[in-house]
Amino acid sequence: MQKPLIFIHGYSERSGDLQPLSVDLSSALNRPIQTMLLSDYITLDDQVTMADLVQGMHYAWQAHQLPTDPQSVDVVVHSLGGLVLRAFLRTYFPKVSPLHDV
């Protein structure tokens, strides 16, 4: 079974902004991509904290039933998505990451 490939958006993104890129990437890699939408950010009036985003990623990970075994997931991130992912991993997977090392 192929590892899930997750696409995590960055700051100032809206739900549909990365859909065209996700479709192109999926086609180029010949594998499905699951986009993890954490928030429809409002750039100048953002009350969402990093802790909120990390918790949101945890809920999304569970809701999408993503694996948690070591090296069981591939991830593509953009901008703030990388920082959220790093904080998420430090919080929920401090010893062994589910990300595939490349």
The tens digit of pLDDT for each residue in 24-77 reads 988 998 888 887 777 666 555 567 788 888 998 899 899 889 999 999 999 988
Name the one residue in this structure whose structure tokens are 């100032």: 12
Q: How confident is the model at residue 86 (pLDDT cuts 50, 70, 90)?
A: very high
Ramachandran region of residue 9, left (φ > 0), alpha (ψ -120 to 50) or beta?
A: beta
Report how many helices (DSSP H) and strands (DSSP E) the chain contains, helices first: 3, 3
The gap between the terminal CA atoms of the chain, to the nearest Å, is 19
Single out the residue of 36, 46, 40 nearest to residue 85, CA to CA.
36
> From CA 20, how far away is CA 12, in angstroms rounded?
16
